[in-house]
Structure 1
């Protein structure tokens, strides 16, 4: 992936088992938990490219969120703030080699940022 590519989409759910059955039945998505990511079932579309996760619904996370690959989360968050956006969630680790953050654009839309590699 390259800077600016959409990496994945998280869908907030209250019941991961029910959501897994719904989306796999509706769209044919393959949904499974991956070792190291328990409690975060990941989905893959039939094209084997599109995907994301079924994440616990919570405060501030009530709508699907797209994540964008970036070269540097720190730089993008600074540029977003300088351009009228705001930081919703600071850079946080996913693994030893990957991080995520969330920004809001000037209209209040939340966009996730992803930096790193998917290797565990």
Structure 2
């Protein structure tokens, strides 16, 4: 079973969103500077982690990340099932990600941790 591992809010108002979720749910944020701007890591006090990304989106939206063992294969399967691939699999510091939009319009991100690749190559 693939599990939800990360929840990320994409918003044009990073500071406002961070303050709101801190006040409402006590989700503390930690600012992390990244090459493309700023990112606030969310301490959600549970098995799920999260973050807030500042971007030029017209409508703020939550993007769930689901862990998969073979990101290339699952991304291709999604395409065959009618999904649009918004972001091809790319390597980040801890693993690989891709972003999909289903034919019904919902968006989801796939994430393959680096250790998953190592398990599959032995």
TM-score over 0.5 (shorter chain): yes
Q: Which runs of 5+ in 1 are unaligned?
A: none
Greater strand share, 1 or 2? 2
What TM-score, normalized by structure 2, do the two folds share? 0.79
Cα deviation, 1:19-38, whole Å, max 9, x if unaligned, reads 21111111011211357687
Aligned-pair CA distance for 1:17: 2.0
For 1:42, the equivalent position in structure 2 comes to: 41
Q: Which runs of 5+ in 2 are unaligned?
A: 116-122
Runs of 4+ in 1 over 3 A off after TM superposition: 34-38, 59-62
Size of the alignment, in residue pairs? 114
Q: 2:95 aligns with which of 79, 95, 98?
A: 98
Determine if the alignment matches structure 1 residue 113 to structure 2 residue 110. yes
Q: What do you get for the CA RMSD once the two structures are aligned?
A: 2.5
Does the residue aligned with 2:61 lie in a helix, a strand or coil? coil
What TM-score, normalized by structure 1, do the two folds share? 0.80
Is the 8 Å Cα contact of residues 12 and 57 (structure 2) preserved in structure 1? no
For 1:77, the equivalent position in structure 2 comes to: 75
Greater helix share, 1 or 2? 2
